[in-house]
Amino acid sequence: MVVLVGCSDDKATTTTTAAAAGTTAPGATDGGTGGDGLDCGLANGQPATGDPIKIGAVVGATGPADFSSAAQGAQAYFNCVNANGGINGRPIQYLVEDDGWDPEKAVTVAKKLVEDEGVVGMVGSTSFVECAANSDYYATQGVAVIAGVGVPRECFFSSNIAPVNQGPRLSGIGAAEYAREQGAKTMACIANVIPNFGGWVCQGLEAWGAENGVTVQSFNGQPDLSDAETIMQQALATNPDAIVVVEAGPGVTGYLKVAEQLGATVDFYGPTSAYDSAFPAAVGEHWFGRFPAEIEFNTMDSTGPDNVLWQAVMAEYGASDAPIDSFSQGGFLSAKIAVDALLGLDTVDRASVTAAFIAVADYESDLVCSPWSFGEGDHHNANHTGRIVELNAEGGWTVVKECFDIPDPEIADLVG
């Protein structure tokens, strides 16, 4: 474990340039390191050659957007671990299945991983549909999931699933809270119609607004943005002070492009999915200096040991086209938590791995503002503290608000 970086509520002036956000640091981390100089797992520089340990993940790689960067971050870390002794000599065999944003396919591929492949656990999953499709199944099969990116409500309200991210509801509320601090008293929330996603997300903003004197109206469109212009026109017609768009990165880009074409002058805010090294170029100069986003992990150029290790691992072991974004950080963190839990086991089987994952408590990392835990129970949202970054005039990102608790009424049982 590493020492948690402290955070304050004061405004920060740290700037992430576009170049810095899109590059990776070559340096090694402090402490024991293997032959590649990276502190992964045992960090002994010896390739793992024993019987493989199967770990699974379900992602939405094909569909309205490629939503698989968390698993790519996890894969890179597992590759580094396998090059540095594996799990006490045994390599991790990482099996990633694509659900295509289709609930029925999500059920099929989960059963393939659990029943046919016999995975001992799931790590780095990221999907808009699979938690809703499979949460009960994982519980009945005794499979624990450390999700890289939880999206629908079931990812956070399931006994056997614990995401390392905040989730879109908290990310949206965090963005809305910052908009309120800038003076917004009326807002529109834009998300999509996927069950227990858009409704749940925007209802969260409405509940937050009711407690904070902010009127919020919700508009949920199709995930493929086929009705994006109509949804944007409806939102703009309410004459809000601010619009919060909670979508996957390409969805945020698409809605901002529509807003630009319509000549919208209202202030826009977004979730962590926009915090991507490719986002500034994708959205265009029109939005430079005028688009804040709430981020669920640390900035991509932060200098804490875990973020530096993530950068180096992606450079050395990641796919050449792997996204460098906030969700990749989440996948990396989920894999690192899982590896640390696995290394403490004498026997590695599904029962022992499930127990070890659920037992993770107060895991400290500079990637998150506060320690992360799995734990017993049916509500898991350990990451509920975030930051605000703003797309600056140079096309990079500037931190404008440091770590703050997201004021979602739904998580009162976790923070009270």
* Residue-level pLDDT, tens digit, the chain, 416 residues: 223 333 333 333 333 333 333 333 333 333 346 678 899 999 999 999 999 999 999 999 999 999 999 999 999 999 999 999 999 999 999 999 999 999 999 999 999 999 999 999 999 999 999 999 999 999 999 999 999 999 999 999 999 999 999 999 999 999 999 999 999 999 999 999 999 999 999 999 999 999 999 999 999 999 999 999 999 999 999 999 999 999 999 999 999 999 999 999 999 999 999 998 899 999 999 999 999 999 999 999 999 999 999 999 999 999 999 999 999 999 999 999 999 999 999 999 999 999 999 999 999 999 999 999 999 999 999 999 999 999 999 999 999 999 999 999 999 888 86
Question: What pLDDT sits at residue 36?
Answer: 81
CB distance 408 to 170 below 8 Å: yes
Q: What pLDDT score was predicted for residue 407?
A: 93
> β-pairing, 161-163 with 145-147?
parallel
Amino acid type, 93: Q
Q: At the topology level of CATH, where does 22-167+301-383 sit?
A: Rossmann fold (3.40.50)
pLDDT at 390: 97
pTM (whole model) above 0.85:
yes
Measured from the Cβ of residue 102, the count of other Cβ atoms closer than 10 Å reads: 18
Q: How far apart are the first and last CA of the chain?
A: 26
- 22-167+301-383 with 168-298+386-415: one CATH topology? yes
Phi/psi at 162 (5° precision) = -135, 110
Per-domain boundaries in the chain:
22-167+301-383, 168-298+386-415
User: Which residues neighbour 357 within 8 Å (Cβ) at sequence distance 6 or greater?
Assistant: 121, 144, 146, 162, 338, 341, 374
CATH architecture of 168-298+386-415: 3-Layer(aba) Sandwich (3.40)
Which tokens belong to 70? 């968390």
Half-sphere exposure of 375 (CA within 13 A, CB side): 16
